[in-house]
Amino acid sequence: MKKYILILLLAAAFNQAKAQNSLNYASLGIGVSASLNKPNADLKNEYQNKSYALTFNYYYTPYVPVGLEFQFGKLSGGGNTVAEDKDTRRYSNDYKALILHLDAQLGEFVDYERNAFLNVVKNFYAGIGVGGIYNNVNRNEYSLLDPTYKFPGQNTSLNLIVPLRVGYEFKFYNEYGQPNVRLDIGYQHNITFGEGLDGYDDPSTKFKNNAPDQYRQITVGLKVNFGGQSTYDKDIKGY
């Protein structure tokens, strides 16, 4: 009889420990991502290119990460013919950016435990950030139609950048119900304050130039959590 009681107590202790583990999470992580980007600057024709990023993440909660991202890639537009750009402007920007992000997932605000629908939608998120982008632009500095006309602008510049993003995160749990691997699919729209993305600072009286330079991204990323063990007030896995 004592043997069965001991087995029951051990089983109860194991289940309690497992339940407690599912409240725990690693608060530190690193991530990598790749994206397709397209600028929205001063030229009519803008082209699709690729960007990449490395991120260090701190999870205030399992659903509120703060990330420091180093991003690099290429932005381009225009061309050397009037078919590509009526003024023969052309640019290619090999940029680098350092951005601080704050995201919030729906799971932070809803009680998703033992609710199949909320357990799915809890991983949708929205976020905002701020940082700097360094532009290194190769461009046509003079008009190919009128070689005496020099386009205003700079080949290198540093601009403030504010990214806005939405997306969904797929969480992969370990044996204790802790999300230690995350797959992220998102859309990010980056607003820069300045005229550095394409290198052209054309007067609005001569060229269409009535909005800040911007670029958008469709991103796929992978994050791995490690260390910095913390405790949450809800079962993270939720089922």
Please tell me the distance from the alpha carbon of residue 102 to that of residue 128, in angstroms, as a whole number.
6
**Paired strand residues for 223:** 31, 182
**pLDDT tens digits for range 20-49:** 445 899 999 999 999 999 999 888 899 999
Per-residue tokens: 161? 């950048």
**Beta strands 49-61 and 24-40, pairing class:** antiparallel
Q: Walk me through the domains of the chain, giving residue ranges and CATH numbers.
A: 2-231 (2.40.160.20)
What is the separation of C-alpha 82 from the centre of its chain, rounded to a whole number of angstroms? Answer: 35
Q: Per-residue pLDDT for 206 more than 70?
A: yes
**pLDDT tens digits for range 137-184:** 999 999 999 999 999 999 999 999 999 999 999 999 998 889 999 999
Tell me the pTM: 0.86
